[in-house]
Structure 1
Amino acid sequence: KVPDIPFEGPVPSNDPNVRLRGSTMTPKELAIFETLFRSRQKQPAESKKHKEARSRTTNLAKKVPNFPAPLRALADEAKVSHSTASAEAEGDSSGISSSLQTSEAAEKLLGERKARMDKAPTDGALWQIMTEEVFNPIKGLNLDDPSASSSMQPYDVEALTRSLPSILLHFMSLMQNVLPGSSYGLALLPTLKKLGPSAFALGATTDLYNEHMHILYRQYSDLDSIAATLAEMDKEVYEFNTGTQSLLWSIFQRERAATSGRMGPGMQALWSTDRKTRALEKLRRLDRTVQEQVRAAAVRKAREKEFREEADGEDESAVETY
């Protein structure tokens, strides 16, 4: 696979058919994504209040994990469009822009959902909260039917979809740290898939897949399912990250300890079975792809940092010259 290289390539086309070439996204997913990220009005001149709100927006964005490559490219385009609109905007500076209002609403919704989830006394009660306050509202949006209407206000729709990845990750965190024996953790991804491809594209992330695999490993030591999940991620273009890398290293480290006899004859026999051996071979093959993508991401991040530093330096020089 050729890693994404930022700041290279032609200017993105406005033609949806052109933009979908080489992408795993469907036209419906593209339309839904662009609707969610499109700014409905120009940004007013930034005041102190706007700067504070923008800071909150940035902090919330940092909490949201990586989208798969096709969605991430569109997200980057949306960020550029919003930045350009902000730089060119003129007029009334009173009030908060619709984009910042949406971000504040998303932050508020995320906080409310997490507080409710934290108070759930049992895994069944937690799943009920997820069903009533997350899954059902998402299902009601009919994201895969552009002609369908929703009873929710546009700001509420965007707040829910923006906060969805973080809500799902918080659920998985509770499954592992508070309710480690629950089987509901492994039900999250299948349930999200049942909500449709657009809902899955908005909610599923590399980190969510990683959490799913952690449960498979810690609770069941199911290496075959982990290998199948990694293969699915690779097929659906969910980029592996350092979390994926760490999980595989943990598995290989445990394998070495078990097969060497350091964990006792029982574990040595278990990890030497044909089934475990075949699964480990699959994981090693997939690990090569994981390592390649992690290295490529590190190079990409270094290039982006260098580009930003150069741009900041040019801005400072221009100010001094002026």
Structure 2
Amino acid sequence: MSRLIPSKEDENLKITPDRNNEVPYYANKFVVYEEYEFVNGEEDAWGNVEVNVTAKDTDKYKVYKPDTYPVHIYLQISEIIIDEETVRLNNEQNGFEEIKVHRLRSIKAQESFLKFAKRFGLLGISEREYFFKRINEEAFTSGHKNLVLTDIKKELVNQELINKIYRMKIAVNYLKKWVDDKITEEQKEDLMNIVNDELPTKQDRLQLKNGEFYPSVLFSSLMDLAWWQLHEALLKKTTYRRCKNERCGNIFAVDHGNRDYCPPYPNRKRSNCEHNHNRRLDYYRKQATRS
């Protein structure tokens, strides 16, 4: 989530602003398996083959904790590549009309989805319907848990999943226009409508941290968490910046005043963008010295 940016006075005095209780903690932890793959399933009633993304080895995994990772997850979802295709459909006048549809069909698109999943886990859209029901039923026997481990081993690649990703890409594209001072009032309103339409159901909870009670929120899926993050970021007027690595160029949420690169991925201490950019500069300097 967004963080307070220290003022110049704070930075000069080397005072870290108090961020306790600034935003609710997340009650979710997400299982992330080492490898995922696209697997064809059975044919549906229309002869279309179902496609799923599944974990290859369920014994090898790590846990992604949104509280400990500074990147806003909606920005990462927007980097998933979506294929656009033109299809012809019969219309009521016995003619044809062409429409644009979105797929996860090309190797490039599928690889980008797997790349995201290996870092953060599956989006969990197909699991949303029964998530809170299951959590509430478990509470009868074991009580409400402080943290809920969300373990999704399989994701159905259907049109709902692709549409959610596509709408997130539209929303983040508006944020990029905002960063570049090119967004219109009409586009701001469209961004508002998209976020309002996608806002998820969540459970507000309490969480105990260091002997004190703090607000906590529980979501049914990683995608739901991402939409709520975007909602909160807009309300808090989060500052975004373009990555200094010219081969990236994506935007990131500024969590402190001197950040110039996309933040590191989970379980990494250093930004990939910063590392690659500095290596490239070192290479150019060495080449210039030799010549």
TM over 0.5: no
Choose between structure 1 and 2: higher helix proportion: 1
TM-score by length of 2: 0.30
Choose between structure 1 and 2: higher strand proportion: 2
Tell me: higher relative CO, structure 1 or 2? Use CA pairs within 8 A at least 6 residues apart: 2
